Each structure stands twice: as C-alpha cells, then as structure tokens.
Structure 1
Amino acid sequence: MRPRTAVVIGGGITGLATAALLSREGLEVTVLEKQPETGGRAGSWETGGFRFDTGPSWYLMPEVFDHFFRLLGTSAAEQLELVRLDPGYRVLFEDTAEPVDVAATRDGNIALFESLEPGAGARLEEYLESAEEVYAMAKKRFLYTTFASFLPLLRPDVLRRGPRLARLLLEPLSTFVARRFTDPRIRQILGYPAVFLGSSPFTTPSMYHLMSRLDLADGVLYPMGGFHRIVSVISDLARAEGSRVITGAEVTRIRTSAPAAAKSRRPRFPRRKPRAVGVEYRDAAGSLVSLDADLVVSAADLHHTETALLPRALQTYPEEYWEHRVPGPGGLLLHLGVQGQLPQLEHHTLLFTRDWEANFEKIFGQETSVPDPASLYVCRPSATDPDAAPEGHENLFVLVPVPSDPSLGAGGIDGAGDPRIEKMADAVIEQLSSWAGIPDLAERIIIRRTVGPQDFVADLNSWRGTLLGPAHILKQSAFFRGTNASRKVEGLLYAGGSTLPGIGLPMCLISAELVLKRLRGETGTEALPEPAPWAAQVSSSQLPGGEPPAPQPSAEAGT
C-alpha cells in the first residue's frame, strides 16, 4: 500500500507543528515555505552581532507548549531553557513619572493593585478566580475542538454556566473591568491583553478576561535563544519525524480533481465535491513544480489561501466574506541596536497613552489614522539573554499597533523604508526617549530596521497587512471564527492564526493539533491524550472524504 502523503503550505510555527504531528501519525509530509527561511511571523533577523526576533515575544500558556511537545514524545523542559521574568513587565503611563512593575507572582500583583487603589487587591483576587475558572472551561471545551459537532458541547458543565458565559460574551472587556476597578492604570493593565487577541478592550468580549490569569497569576517566561529558538526546535522535531521542508517554494495554486460522480444515478443525489490532490509551486530557481498529495493543509493566511490559491467556485471564504470581517491591527515594527545599557526598560515594557479609548478608535474605528502619541510595546531581550546583542549593547524590538492598512507603506534598513514609515519610526523613538527618560536614545542607535503593513502583505500574504489575523471580537471567536476544513474541497484543511482557534503561538500549536483531530474524525473538546496512540499508518477512511484518488501526474491533470 502506498504511504499516504500530505503537503503543508507555510513553514511558520503552525505549519511545522502540523507537519510534525502528521509525520508522527504516519503520513509522508512536505512543507513548502515561500521565504528562504522558516518561521513566518516568528522569524529572526541577525546583523552586526544582534539577533532580533521579528514577531512573537511573550511566552504565555506554558502548559500548551508542554502538551504539544509531549505529543511528540518530549517536553518543553527537554527542548527549551525557560526563564521566569521578574518583574513580568513594566508599564509607563503618559504624564505619570513612576512606572508600574507587574510582579512575577499572583500574590505580588494582588499587593501591587492594592497599592494603586485601596481595595483593589481583594477585587483582583476575585477577578483572577473568575479568570481561572473561565480559562479552565475554555481549554476543556472551546480551544481544542474543531466544532465539527456541537454535541460534545452539550455537557452539564457548559450548560450550567450558559447564562454566565452569555453575559461574558455580550459585555465588552472594558466595561467588565470598569465595574470592578477605578484607577485608570489598573484598567489599562487589565484591558491590554485584548491587543494579544488582535482587538480592542472596547470590542473584545469580557470572556477574554481569562487572559489576565496568564500574566498576573502564572507569570511571563522567556525561552533563552529567543522565540525563533522555538521554531528551530519544532522544525528539528518535524524533520526527525520524517517531514521534508522546502524553502523558497511559493505555492501558486491548490490542485483539485474533478468532482466524482455520485453512486446513485438519481439527480437528487449531487456529485461529490472535488478533492485536493496536491499543489503547484514556484521553486527558488523560478521553475514551476507540481507536487501530488492525498491531503493539503494550508497554514498560510486564510484569505490568501481561499482567494488566491483556489478558483472562485471552490472558495469556502470568497472575497465577499472578507468584506464583512474585522482585521486585527497592523503594525509598525522597529528593530534597534543600541550602544550602552538601557536600565530604564525591562525585558517587556508597555507605554500607555492617557486617551486610551481614542487611541484604539484610531486603529479600529471607521475613520482610521496612526495614533500620535501611540500606546506601544518594547521588548529588550538583551536584559535577559546575553546572546541577543554584543557586549555593551542592547537589543530593542518596538511594536506600534496601527491600522491594518498596507498603504501606510513598507519599512527598510537604516532609514530606507517608505518616508511615512520612517517618519512614524522617528516619532516613536522620540516618544520612547521622552517617556522612559533616555534623552540620547536616538544618537545611540547603530542598527535600525523598520517594518510596515505592506511588508506583511509582501512577505506573509497577510490579509490587509494585519499583524496578527482576524480580530477576536464576538463574531470572529470560537465557532464564529469559521472551520478548519474546506466546505468545497475534500482533503483541504486549514491551520494558523486566521482560523481555529485563533491568534498567538499557543493557539497556533492547538491549531496544528486540530488538524490531527479533524484527520482522525475526533469531535471531542479536550486535548489529545499524552502520549497519543500513534498509528503506524493512516487508513484511507481517516483522510477527509474517504479514499483518495490516484495521484495526478501533472498540473494539467485536474483543476
């Protein structure tokens, strides 16, 4: 019997994680990555002795990482050197001289909140208890499900909490927080996790107050070697399981077979759907290559997958669907190599503007514009990791949420980006210099690279240049986020931040597991057992749509 084959589009963390799981399941897997290196949003850029992570930089939900590694017969402790950050992060507020350092422990943060607002410590305890309960429910019933069936959700624990869950879904996070806390600094600290979800606290459902359990109770970790270290580890595990990874391979279309005739000749029985039989891609030399596969998994941007890689008739999510979706923010990114030390900044530092709601309205409102001043985020990995920068220097990664608008432009090295992007970067450097008390910051920068929304389109095929993916507002969360299986093409599955379960590195690992659950026909809501009972080979009945057709000899064999 011919071994079953799969092709995974995209060599970011989701694509590599999916490949590792499918290879361990017994499939022969090929990963196709457009860029010269794997990583996607979680990439790396090195120059002059500096090593910059180009994307994610918060290590949260550590149990999700460990569960994924255990599915592959290892653990996070074996694969990564994790350091707990203390403080977890620092917050600088506009027109407020004293920073607020968020502690590494739950008790430390209860004491911190009490110092900011009398009585807030006890209220934070209640807030975190609620967050922990909702987080546990989310992991057990909503994150690890494909929503292929809703029957597993009809459990007593879900039904019993139904009225409360409904309230949490309908009330914005900002309102939920404001009813409990008065101090504007506390409100901003508790509202900021909405940004991790690609949204605003004024539109994100209060269900997501569960996020505060991650930073205020569990604490924030950092993987030594940077976040691209995680990509490297998962890539190595995928290859060890037998996956083949090809870089410089840009997929140009998903190939499909003609619809199979139904067994019955009666006209009321429709023909079967077409089936994915492989992909066509352009290799690093520019040649067009056809690759057969029984299963296609796209870990690329879902909008690009649907609207660029499939004909209109086979699109589950055509262009008109996206006209009614809400993107997460775009991003202005700065990678700065700085001479000398920067003790004014912690490993993670957040800058929050006074007019909080107006800042978000400029990013997500009907009439968008770039906030000035902006609420922004700074990562200084050299505070923890000596390999992130040469001795006597600092490494800064700055993220400024901006509208998801590619017309803002692209960045470049040493001021070579589009003028608007570089002007925005100058303003951000000046703001950071002023707020953090680093008057000579601009003069000390020896490495400068900017990235704009247009870069996300060019490099990652990102829908509307969004930094993260569709925002986690109510109509784009849980089963409203869509499905991870095409409704028009058999054997075509989706993974990554633009599909289930959502945005963030932990969600991307869960998304890879959901591909495996869909492949197996698993409709339960809980994570797969550790270790999973791996089959030596997947039977044809386990592949979506049943028995695959014979492999196609060329790109012309089926469209």
Structure 2
Amino acid sequence: MNTPSPRIAVIGGGLAGLSTAALLAKNGLTVDLYEKNSDLGGRCGVWETDGYLFDTGPSWYLMPEVFDKFFHDVGTSTAEQLNLTTLTPGYRVFTENHPVPVDVTSGQAEELFDSLEARGGDKLRAYLDSASSTYKLALDHFLYTDFRTVKPFFDREITSRVGELPTLLGTSLNTFINKRFSHPVLRQILGYHAVFLGTSPDRAPAMYHLMSHLDLVDGVQYPQGGFMSIIRAIEKIALDLGVTIHRGANVTRILTTDNPTPTSRAGLTASAQRIVHQVAGSRLSSHTGYRTRTVVGLQTENGEGQRTTYDADIIVGATDLHHLETQLLSPEEQSYPQEYWDKKDPGPGSVLVHLGVRGEVPELTHHNLFFVKDWDENFDAIYGKNKHLPNPASLYVCKPSHSDPDVAPDGHENVFILVPVPADPGLGHGGRDGDGDALVEQAADAAIAQVAAWAKIPDLAQRIVLRRTVGPADFVTDVNAWSGGALGPAHTLAQSAMFRTTNRSRLVDGLWYAGGSTIPGIGLPMCIISADIATRGILAEI
C-alpha cells in the first residue's frame, strides 16, 4: 500500500516561497502557495506606471552560481530563463572624500587602487585572494547547510584555516580593511557590502570581506526586464510543475494539533554545540526536548474578510519569521517569541524614492554609491542608541534605464534612490508626488538634493515628472517586515551562520522556514539557498 504524498503549504510568494514551492514540486510533491498580496515577489516587487517599470527591492545580481544551481535543479538553466547583461562599469562611487567620481569594474579595479594608494593594486590582489578563498569555503561548506551536524567543521579545507578564524570572526570588517588600506575611498569601496548584509562595517565580522569577491572578481550583472523577471520566471516554472498559487490569501493562523508521537526537536547535536562554542565562543540555548504539536493546516483571509481553512501536513513559512512566529502561532508554539526579537538587530529600514526624470542623466551609471565622509556618524544615526534620519546620508542610486530601454519611456530615465534609515515604522509611509508622511518626504527631498549636488545635475529636481516614495511603515504593510526593516535581520556575528534562526520550528512538527529571516541570511541568493535547505530537510523526513 502506497503512503499518500504529504500536502505541503508554502506561506509567502516572494523569491524564497516560490523557489521552495518549485523545488518541492519538482520532487513530485503536491504544493499550494499562499500569498497575501495580489502580486508575487514580496520584497522583490515591481511598480509599473506611465511607461516606467521600477524594481521595489533587490537590484544587484550577484552570486550567479546560486541561480545556476537552482535553475538546474528545477530542470532548466539560467540562460533559458534570464537575459543577463554584464555591467561596465559595475558601479560608480561619489564621495565627500574625493572630488571626482570613480568607476569600479571587475578585472580593472587594480588600476583604480594603484591610482589612489601606493601599491594599492598589490594590496587588492592579496585582499581578493583571501576574499575569494573565503567565499569558496562558505559556498562549499556552510551556505547550503542547516548546521544540524558537525561535518562541515571537520573538512580538511576548514581545519587547515582554523588559525584564521579568530580574525575572521572576532575582528570587524572595518578593522580588517583599515589594516590593509589607508585611502578613505578604497576603504569605503571594500566596506559598503556591509549594508547589503543589513549592518555596518564596524558591526559585520571580517569574514564578510568575502563579499568583495562578488563584485570585484565575478562582476555585476543585470536581468533585462528588471528583477521581477526572476520572479516571473520562477512563478512559471512552479506553475508548470503543478504548484497551485493562491493570491490575495492572507494567512492568519497556522493550525496545529497535539502530536501523538512527540519527535525530538534537537536543533544541533551536543557535539555540534561544542564545536560552535570553541569556534565562536557563543552561548547557545539548549535544543533538547520534543515537538509536542504538529501542523494540520492553515487559515486564510481575503480582502473581504472571508476566512478559509486549508489542510496541510507540512508548512513552509517563507514570510517574515517574526510575523509568523508572533502572529500565526500561539505562545506555547513559538520557537522565537517576542522576547527573542527584543534582543536582536532588525537591520536598517529604508526610504525608497522612485523617480521618472525627463531627459538623459549621463552623470549616473546603472549602479551608483554616494558615500558620506563620516561613516561612523552616518551608521550611528541608523543603528545607534539615538536613532535619527542621517543627513547627509550614504545613498544607493540605481538608473536601470542605463542598461534596459524597456524600464522608462523614450526620452526619460528611471532613477531609484535608496536611503538607509533606522528600522522604525514610526517614520511613516510614503506616497505619490510628495504626499507621504513628513519624515519620509523629508528624507526623499534631502536625497534628491544630495544626488543633484554631488553628481552635478543642478536641474534634477525640475526634471522630475514622476515621484513615489516608500517608507518603513510600508514594509510592515506590504511584507509584514519586522520593525519595518528593509532587508531582514542584520548579519552581525550573533545573527550569522549557525547563530541565525534555524530553518525549522523547535516546537511544532511539520513547520519549516525559508527566506531572509533564517539561515543562511538576507539577499536573493540567500533566499534561494534557504529554499534548497528547507526542501532537502523535508525530503529527508518524508
């Protein structure tokens, strides 16, 4: 007699949820995906109006091997699904420390470093050798693991570098860079990746210097049609594999019952915990005990308030984990209750500014970074005790119309500004044409003026024909973001690798997690890897 296939429900239609659904369906399982919004994508969304197409979230295509593996695993290839363009330059840097913007391109950065610092190119080669080997180490041994065994720690490649671990884990990225380079612009080029990690260079461990491999060795690419093209490609794959997608289905409750045969909820073996203690010197809570509840389904609510109940044997929560744990489970079912989150770092919030600009803006390339002189003050405004809007702020400015003619009307440019701000929904919502909340619009006005001044586009404000802002409160409304954070939990040492939330519930059988809140972390590649980890864990137990 054949055992019936388990019914699997995935909560959240962002990249992690769609990827998990597609991987599980590819392995012959019946999968339903539930998304509260009418559009898929989550943080990787799109806003289209008047001939403009704006990405509303991620805009850097990095770690191509992760996408390659995923598409291979679902029976296709990146080349079949995406039309990628390599960006030259990779990005342009404007800074108070240097009067002339500098272009950064993979394979050509040594010349730039030599021009700004004695033996800068030699120093960069040594730095990138370390970054590349550390990245390979992470990719081969840690990024695709759930840390429930000690095997990754005993590989010869790991043990041969054990002497480096105190520096990589116990030193900040900022200190690591500053010991090797003296020019402030070069330090910022190597340190800005910390923002991608939801933190700052002085809060990120030095192991994250591996990020420099991504842009300075691999290079930066862009999928034509914007990042929604990735979501649409995976949505089609999932549908073709038989996934049922429920849009406008806001999950309001995960339904559970007593577990007749409680299962072990050991998250890490005792030996694994000892290894973690030795490597990082951190205290872990005990994972001993049993899961006394098991999932049986979920409850959704549509826009009219109509509630529907669906059965499920396994649930993958690919939505914001703080929301799932504190809002969809009862207190006795929460592996990560509110008191857990009260001690954690949500990363930065963001004010997003989408601009339609009349005429060309040749002063900007596709990716542009604006760095203030005093990084410490800038980051302290975002992460410190007395949080406030930084002014001036270090900004990220994207002009995808530089590479993609389809994202703006003829004769116009698509310009997107990201202003890192504190993760605080109290800063408010955005809006159209300046009608958002006061602090959000204040940050947007300051950012537009800063870009105009630093990039020498004096008439920028007068040429804006379309303006839309998004504030931290919108992230709560749109994607249930914890504290209005734009990215997810910051990659500090205490929230990285084995110290990040696990990818399954410790208290409820059949409840798994994927997405930026859990291992391995934030960013599109990490979300795809989290889907891979959850899928392999589920397949191993059914």
Scaled by the length of structure 1, what TM-score is found? Answer: 0.91
> For the residues of structure 1 that align with 2:259 and 2:205, how far apart are their CA atoms?
41
Matched, 1:231 2:250: no
1:184/1:261 CA distance change after superposition, 3 Å: closer
> For the residues of structure 2 that align with 1:470 and 1:125, how far apart are their CA atoms?
32
The match for 1:535 is none
The match for 1:345 is 364
> For the residues of structure 2 that align with 1:194 and 1:218, how far apart are their CA atoms?
18
Superposed CA deviations along residues 355-410 of structure 1, whole A, max 9, x for unmatched, are 11111111111111111000000000000000000000000111010000110111
The match for 2:449 is 430
The match for 1:167 is 167
Matched, 1:321 2:349: no
Q: Residue type matched to 1:187 in 2? A: R
Superposed CA deviations along residues 323-348 of structure 1, whole A, max 9, x for unmatched, are 11011100000000010000000000
- 8 Å contact from structure 2 (residues 254, 329) kept in 1: yes
1:28/1:261 CA distance change after superposition, 3 Å: closer
Matched, 1:447 2:466: yes
Superposed CA deviations along residues 502-527 of structure 1, whole A, max 9, x for unmatched, are 01000010010001121133xxxxxx
> What is the Cα deviation at residue 116 of structure 1?
1.1
The match for 2:94 is 92
Q: Equivalent residue of 1:136, what SS?
A: helix
The match for 1:60 is 62
Point out 4+ residue stretches in structure 1 off by more than 4 angstroms.
269-272
Superposed CA deviations along residues 47-75 of structure 1, whole A, max 9, x for unmatched, are 00000000000000011111110001111
- 8 Å contact from structure 1 (residues 315, 488) kept in 2: yes
- 8 Å contact from structure 2 (residues 97, 184) kept in 1: no
Q: CA RMSD in A?
A: 1.4
Q: Equivalent residue of 1:51, what SS?
A: strand
> What is the Cα deviation at residue 262 of structure 1?
6.4
- 8 Å contact from structure 1 (residues 339, 444) kept in 2: yes
> For the residues of structure 1 that align with 2:97 and 2:316, how far apart are their CA atoms?
49
**How is 1:456-471 mapped onto 2 (pairs within 5 angstroms)?**
456-471=475-490
The match for 1:552 is none
1:83 to 82, 85, 89: 85
- 8 Å contact from structure 1 (residues 259, 271) kept in 2: no
Q: Residue type matched to 1:230 in 2? A: I
> For the residues of structure 2 that align with 1:126 and 1:259, how far apart are their CA atoms?
55
Q: Equivalent residue of 1:143, what SS?
A: coil
Q: Residue type matched to 1:170 in 2? A: G
The match for 2:22 is 20
The match for 1:241 is 241
Q: Residue type matched to 1:3 in 2? A: S
- 8 Å contact from structure 1 (residues 260, 271) kept in 2: no
> For the residues of structure 2 that align with 1:208 and 1:404, how far apart are their CA atoms?
22
Q: Residue type matched to 1:348 in 2? A: H
Q: Equivalent residue of 1:195, what SS?
A: helix
Q: Residue type matched to 2:81 in 1? A: Q
Q: Residue type matched to 1:192 in 2? A: Y
> What is the Cα deviation at residue 152 of structure 1?
3.9
Q: Equivalent residue of 2:99, what SS?
A: coil
The match for 1:73 is 75
The match for 1:391 is 410
Q: Equivalent residue of 1:370, what SS?
A: coil
> For the residues of structure 2 that align with 1:317 and 1:340, how far apart are their CA atoms?
50
Superposed CA deviations along residues 456-512 of structure 1, whole A, max 9, x for unmatched, are 111111000001011000000000002101000000000000101001000010010
> What is the Cα deviation at residue 148 of structure 1?
1.7
> What is the Cα deviation at residue 157 of structure 1?
1.8
> For the residues of structure 1 that align with 2:198 and 2:437, how far apart are their CA atoms?
25
1:141/1:262 CA distance change after superposition, 3 Å: closer
Superposed CA deviations along residues 303-338 of structure 1, whole A, max 9, x for unmatched, are 001000000001000000011101110000000001
Moved more, 448-457 or 254-263: 254-263
> For the residues of structure 1 that align with 2:124 and 2:247, how far apart are their CA atoms?
47
The match for 2:377 is 358
- 8 Å contact from structure 2 (residues 501, 517) kept in 1: no
The match for 1:530 is none
**How is 1:166-205 mapped onto 2 (pairs within 5 angstroms)?**
166-205=166-205
Q: Equivalent residue of 2:258, what SS?
A: coil
Q: Equivalent residue of 1:46, what SS?
A: strand
- 8 Å contact from structure 1 (residues 260, 272) kept in 2: no
1:261/1:81 CA distance change after superposition, 3 Å: closer
Q: Equivalent residue of 1:413, what SS?
A: coil
**How is 1:96-495 mapped onto 2 (pairs within 5 angstroms)?**
96-103=98-105, 105-106=106-107, 108-260=108-260, 273-495=292-514
> For the residues of structure 1 that align with 2:67 and 2:52, how far apart are their CA atoms?
27
> For the residues of structure 2 that align with 1:517 and 1:2, how far apart are their CA atoms?
19
- 8 Å contact from structure 1 (residues 253, 280) kept in 2: yes
1:261/1:491 CA distance change after superposition, 3 Å: closer
> What is the Cα deviation at residue 261 of structure 1?
5.4
Gaps of 5+ in 1: 264-268, 522-541, 544-559
The match for 1:536 is none
- 8 Å contact from structure 2 (residues 300, 309) kept in 1: yes
> For the residues of structure 2 that align with 1:272 and 1:396, how far apart are their CA atoms?
49
- 8 Å contact from structure 1 (residues 497, 507) kept in 2: yes
- 8 Å contact from structure 2 (residues 12, 319) kept in 1: yes
The match for 2:270 is none
Q: Residue type matched to 2:125 in 1? A: E
> For the residues of structure 2 that align with 1:441 and 1:177, how far apart are their CA atoms?
35
Moved more, 363-372 or 182-191: 363-372
Q: Equivalent residue of 1:199, what SS?
A: coil
Q: Equivalent residue of 1:333, what SS?
A: strand
> What is the Cα deviation at residue 166 of structure 1?
2.7
- 8 Å contact from structure 2 (residues 97, 185) kept in 1: no
The match for 2:43 is 41
> What is the Cα deviation at residue 147 of structure 1?
1.1
> What is the Cα deviation at residue 210 of structure 1?
0.3
1:418/1:57 CA distance change after superposition, 3 Å: same
Gaps of 5+ in 2: 264-287
Moved more, 251-260 or 219-228: 251-260
> For the residues of structure 2 that align with 1:397 and 1:139, how far apart are their CA atoms?
31
> What is the Cα deviation at residue 260 of structure 1?
1.4
Residues matched between the structures, number? 516
> What is the Cα deviation at residue 237 of structure 1?
0.5
Q: Residue type matched to 2:423 in 1? A: S
1:371/1:274 CA distance change after superposition, 3 Å: same
Q: Equivalent residue of 1:300, what SS?
A: coil
1:170/1:272 CA distance change after superposition, 3 Å: closer
The match for 1:539 is none
- 8 Å contact from structure 2 (residues 19, 528) kept in 1: yes
